[in-house]
A and B are shown apart, each in its own frame.
Chain A
Amino acid sequence: MVELEAESPERLSELCEKLLANPLIEDFEIQTL
């Protein structure tokens, strides 16, 4: 799990696809707290 403060929450999915997760081998789910 990665917790972070996001200045642009609308770009979180893009951030996951480009860096935080490797979509080839990992799924991701975004939870806003």
Chain B
Amino acid sequence: MIWGVLQFPGSCDERDALHACSLLGEARLVWHETRDLSGIEAIVIPGGFSYGDYLRAGAIARFSPAMEAVAEFAAAGGPVLGICNGFQVLCEAKLLPGALLLNEDQRFLCRQVDLVADGPKSELTGDLSAHRPPEALSIPVKHGEGRYWAPDEVLDAIEAGGQVAYRYAPGQNPNGSARDIAGVSNEAGNVVGLMPHPEHAVDPLTGSTDGLRVFEAMGRVAA
């Protein structure tokens, strides 16, 4: 399986994402100026501060040639995973509903949280969401603008449509996200964004390998 990991000026998590993907197949770095995704079977948009987060996080990255190609890739059913800034980019690009606001306490946070796959609609959560009761994944968060928000009618619609891909475990919502939402999918279920960083949890050295399961679920869908 061939993974493509986008890199914008200001990205900072592409190396960890490449490493995570390389544990499951071939991983290629995709520079923001290219439109060529030929051969790539799954896309990861990593975290960081694309284009310096000017205007708003993800606001400029959405206009990059690579993101134009990602939009076409997603429209054709290709699996896309946006992590942290990648999630923000996907929301700005309107490939995912909602927006990410400043954390409720207005501070950057960095901590380990438990995450529950909750998305029957998204194929990208794979069998992670099949466990009953839901199985918690221990994955770190690190962000200043991670508070998921959407109008109530949109929240109702994405919950009814099974588009909530991940929620923070009860009592562990770190940023004030609406309805404990940590990640959402598009209507088709092939595009998922989440604020926690599964690419930072793929090695026992860092305390958890649960993040690898997020990539494995995506890989099973793309294969």
Residues in chain A within 8 A of chain B (CB atoms)? 2, 19-20, 22, 24-25
The reply to whether the CB of B99 lies closer than 8 angstroms to some CB of chain A is yes
**A25 pairs with B149, CB closer than 8 A:** yes
A7: shortest Cβ distance to chain B, in Å? Answer: 18
Is the CB–CB distance between A22 and B149 below 8 Å?
Answer: no
Listed A/B pairs (17) with beta-carbon separation below 8 Å: A2-B55, A19-B55, A19-B59, A19-B60, A19-B63, A20-B55, A22-B56, A22-B59, A22-B92, A22-B99, A24-B98, A24-B99, A24-B150, A24-B151, A25-B99, A25-B101, A25-B149
Measured between C-beta atoms, what is the minimum distance from B140 to chain A in Å? 26
The CA of A2 and the CA of B75, in the complex, are separated in Å by 33
- Closest Cβ of chain A to B65, distance in Å, is 16
Q: Which residues of B contact A (CB under 8 A)?
A: 55-56, 59-60, 63, 92, 98-99, 101, 149-151
Query: In the assembly, what is the distance between CA of A11 and CA of B209, in Å?
Result: 50
B100 to chain A minimum Cβ distance, whole angstroms, is 9
Chain B residues, Cβ within 8 Å of A19: 55, 59-60, 63
Residue in chain A with minimal CB distance to B92:
A22
Q: How far is the CB of A4 from chain B (nearest CB, A)?
A: 12
A18 vs B59: C-alpha distance when bound (angstroms): 9
**Complex alpha-carbon distance, A9 and B50, angstroms:** 28
Residues of A within 8 Å of B60, CB to CB, are 19
Contact residues in A for B150 (Cβ distance below 8 Å): 24
Shortest distance from the beta carbon of B104 to any chain A beta carbon, whole Å: 15
For A22, what are the chain B residues with a Cβ–Cβ distance below 8 Å? 56, 59, 92, 99
How far, in angstroms, from A25 to B98 measured CA to CA in the complex? 9
User: What A residues does B63 contact at CB under 8 A?
Assistant: 19
Chain A residues with CB under 8 A of B99: 22, 24-25
- Give A20's nearest chain B residue, CB to CB: B55
Chain B's nearest CB lies how many Å from the CB of A16?
A: 11
Q: Kindly provide the distance from the CB of A14 to the nearest chain B CB, expressed in whole angstroms.
A: 14
**Which chain B positions have C-beta within 8 A of A25?**
99, 101, 149
Starting from the known contacts A24-B151, A25-B99, 6 additional A-B residue pairs (CB-CB under 8 Å) come to A19-B60, A20-B55, A22-B56, A22-B92, A24-B98, A25-B101
Minimum distance in angstroms from A12 CB to a CB of chain B: 15
**Cβ of A28 to closest chain B Cβ, rounded Å:** 12
Q: Which residues of A contact B149 (CB under 8 A)?
A: 25
Q: With CB as the reference atom, state the residue of chain B lying closest to A18.
A: B63
